[in-house]
Structure 1
């Protein structure tokens, strides 16, 4: 009985020591915190911790204004002329494009043309948001 009690105590002590030895140092814990996953994949119909916050964050408050879309996406190329983009305000660069008609310009913005990928840099923009932004750019460039 004494041997059994001694074995149990030694086992408990070994587990305690092993837990202490394998715990993370403060520096290691900081690294682990930095590289931990920022989210998780949830399957519809299954319980998922934090899923409500993600679903709520994804809900849009409505269409963005043309100014917001231009100021957050389009300006990068259309203010600098990157990849051959016509600069907003440059009437000479926009004139041949405007002559093609608004419908063609919107189609090019949605489907891409030349160095501009489909939807430019706004993959989450609706067709209506893109059209409004193209109209704004044309208005500022005539």
Structure 2
């Protein structure tokens, strides 16, 4: 009788889906059953390349070097380019309606997954405090 570690199986599947879905050449339009404005914004995601500047300097007022590395390895894979409807890092206007829901809700979405975002945002070692710091970093203008 074999046993499976279901959380790890689901995490592996989510990671594979993220890698498959977060490519610049993706032709698929993702529909999110949410508010009409969000649905329209997600449907506009196309195969065109989105300009993005990689994070090259550590902004110690907003994030520690350790969390910046975590951001670059996890969150940044979608949030740097705004892939699959993810609000881009530093785009204050895109983050406003999300932040209006409150940090507790934002942390819950990061931890549990939300729409196209996988559970834990692929940061399986992050604490709720880490998620809050990462969200603050991403939602702050550069």
TM-score, normalised via structure 2 length: 0.49
- What is the TM-score when the length of structure 1 is the normalising length? 0.49
The structure with the largest alpha-carbon Rg is 1
